[in-house]
Amino acid sequence: MSSKIQCIRNISRIRNINRIKIQRYLHVNSILNQQIKKGARLKNLFKKFEKEPKFFDFETKVKNQQDEIMKIDQNPIDTEESKTERFSEIDGFHKLSQFIQEAYPKKQKEDNNFIDSILNTENSKSAIKSLDIDIKNKLDEKCKEALNPTIEFLDSIPNSLELYKCLSSFFNQTSKLLEDHKSFNIIYLPELSNKEWSSVHDDLIERIATQSTEYPKEPLINVLTIPIILNFSLKKIGFRFYNGPLAMSIFNQLKSNVPLYFISCNQQTYNEILRIVWIYYGIIDLYQFEKKFTEMKIMGYEGDVTTFHILKVVIDEYNGLRHGKSDFNKYGTEIQPIENIDRERFLRHEFINLKHRLNKGDEEEEDTAAEAKALLKALSL
């Protein structure tokens, strides 16, 4: 009698173990499918999966588990062969779990290498960085006007997928030029190191305008044109096509090529990214916004008037949410996640510092203008 009871218990235990294994496989499959939908973060991982279809074929594995349960129902005797098979499957599951866990720390390591590469890259000697701020702003304005045919072409693209393909082609071409050392002068424009506007600047703007007019799909590639094209595309994808995740994927993909990332991004790029992050990933959680804002500061971009207004909107909307006065909370419930308290304090501190810096710059401009007027008045006398 006791042996029969023990046998029934063993059968029940085996069934439970196999059901748990099935649930684990289904759970892992669900996690991996979600990662595929989010983007190409595990693209290389799934290429390995495809090379080993027998080991990573979850549907087949689940079906085999179900067949095994049926066999147990028919034959309650636990043979040595069945034990070996089950232990082999459990070992395979543990190997899969370990393989997935080891895939994530690598991303953090790559991010660290990316920051180190950016800070130490020789491309930081780009002549554009040494230009006077007034000349730099004038170049940017005139370059936008010269690129107008290309911008109109990008604006005519009907959906985010087509725009992404066009942008990918453009950046692939840029990457090839960056790999060719002979193209250094074409990309980085060392001739613009003058402190005053000259015919060199006029000639460059004319060449950009001519190329953009004749070949809108193939604009002149250099350190001036690339950020303009990227910023327009990010803005359109994020706020015209409402595809914020795709815009973030494009921005993050640039980090795989440090020189390309360096010449593609500027303060306006980070302003667009901050807006996208807040609208698509913010409101309740400030983590992603704080992360991108800190990255912006690390990359040497202190913020401008647009950044100031973005910070003001973020702080105001978060405070409204915290006090139950947000447009996103019609019931008036006070929402204040504990982990966001320090982040909100940090952003408020940065907001105040940026405000002081911008005010100081305005005061200096006013003093310079007053001195110029006084000098002109003295000369007229």
Instruction: Please indicate whether residue 261 or residue 337 has the higher confidence score (pLDDT).
Output: 261
Instruction: Find the range with the poorest average confidence among 102-111, 153-162, 247-256, 356-365.
Output: 102-111
In this structure, the answer to whether residues 91 and 166 fall within a common structural domain is no
Determine, yes or no, domain membership for 122: no
What is the pLDDT, as a whole number, of residue 24? 63
How many whole angstroms separate alpha carbon 128 and alpha carbon 188? 8
Among the candidates 77, 103, 129, a domain finishes at: 103
pLDDT over 50 (residue 170): yes
Highest mean pLDDT among 14-18, 72-76, 148-152: 148-152
In this structure, the answer to whether residues 296 and 254 fall within a common structural domain is yes
Taking residues 126-139, what's their average pLDDT? 74
Q: Place 242 in a pLDDT band, splitting at 50, 70 and 90.
A: very high
Average pLDDT, the chain: 75
What is the pLDDT, as a whole number, of residue 35? 59
pLDDT over 50 (residue 73): no
Instruction: Find the range with the poorest average confidence among 219-223, 241-245, 377-381.
Output: 377-381
Among the candidates 83, 103, 123, a domain finishes at: 103
pLDDT over 80 (residue 240): yes
- Per residue in 178-206, pLDDT (tens digit) is 888 888 888 888 887 667 888 888 999 99
What is the pLDDT, as a whole number, of residue 72? 46
In this structure, the answer to whether residues 64 and 184 fall within a common structural domain is no
- Per residue in 11-68, pLDDT (tens digit) is 666 666 666 666 666 666 676 666 556 555 545 544 544 444 443 444 555 556 556 5
Taking residues 290-294, what's their average pLDDT? 94
Residue 199: give the domain boundaries.
137-380
What is the pLDDT, as a whole number, of residue 275? 95
pLDDT over 50 (residue 10): yes
How many whole angstroms separate alpha carbon 278 and alpha carbon 298? 19
Determine, yes or no, domain membership for 27: yes
Determine, yes or no, domain membership for 124: no
How many domains is the chain partitioned into structurally? 2
In this structure, the answer to whether residues 207 and 326 fall within a common structural domain is yes
- Per residue in 216-234, pLDDT (tens digit) is 999 999 999 999 999 999 9
What is the pLDDT, as a whole number, of residue 54? 43
In this structure, the answer to whether residues 186 and 313 fall within a common structural domain is yes
What is the pLDDT, as a whole number, of residue 108? 45
In this structure, the answer to whether residues 144 and 259 fall within a common structural domain is yes
Secondary structure (H, E, C), the chain? CHHHHHHHHHHHHHHHHHHHHHHHHHHHHHHHHHHHHHCCCCHHHHHHHHHCHHHHCHHHHHHHHHHHHHHHHHCCCCCHHHHHHHHHHHHHHHHHHHHHHHHCHHHHHHHHHHHHHHHHCHHHHCHHHHCCHHHHHHHHHHHHHHCHHHHHHHHCCCCHHHHHHHHHHHHHHHHHHHHCHHHHHHHHCHHHCCCCCCHHHHHHHHHHHHHHHHCCCCCCCCCCHHHHHHHHHHHHHHHCCCCHHHHHHHHHHHHHCHHHHHHHCCHHHHHHHHHHHHHHHCCCCCHHHHHHHHHHHHCCCCCCHHHHHHHHHHHHHHHHHHCCCCCCCCCCCCCCCCCHHHHHHHHHHHHHHHHHHHHHHHHHHHHHHHHHHHHHHHHHC
Give the percent of the chain with pLDDT over 90. Answer: 36
What is the pLDDT, as a whole number, of residue 318? 83
Determine, yes or no, domain membership for 130: no
